[in-house]
Amino acid sequence: MNGKAIKMSDLLTRSSPQDVAEDEAALAEILAEMQLIREQMKADDADIERLKAETRTLKQETDALRVETRALLSSLKVLTKPC
């Protein structure tokens, strides 16, 4: 925006075509900014869901590796026990 704050009372009392045009331009700019924010929020939500899915996959892989490592360690202990 142009940095000029618009008060609600100004909107009610200003009525020249130039004032109306300025107000409409300011509102259009605000709506455009809101749309950009909304789109960014959607993108952020998609990223969050993607990261959650990646985290679930990594947890499953980690759990599988843990089981595999424990099994390997158990088999090594059996092999290293004195007869």
Angle at 74 between CA 70 and CA 80, to 5 degrees: 140
Is 52 among the domain residues?
yes
Domain count within the chain: 1
Is 20 among the domain residues?
yes
pLDDT digits (tens, 9 = 90+) for 13-41: 656 888 888 889 999 999 999 999 999 99
Is 72 among the domain residues?
yes
DSSP assigned state of 18: H
Average pLDDT over residues 72-82: 83
Is 1 among the domain residues?
no
pLDDT band at 56 (very low <50, low <70, confident <90, very high): very high
The proportion of the chain whose per-residue pLDDT surpasses 90, expressed as a percent, equals 60
Cα–Cα distance between 35 and 42 in angstroms, integer?
11
Is 3 among the domain residues?
no
pLDDT band at 2 (very low <50, low <70, confident <90, very high): low
**pLDDT value at 12 more than 80:** no
Is 61 among the domain residues?
yes
Structural domain of 36 = 8-80
pLDDT confidence of residue 10: 61
Radius of gyration of the chain (CA): 31
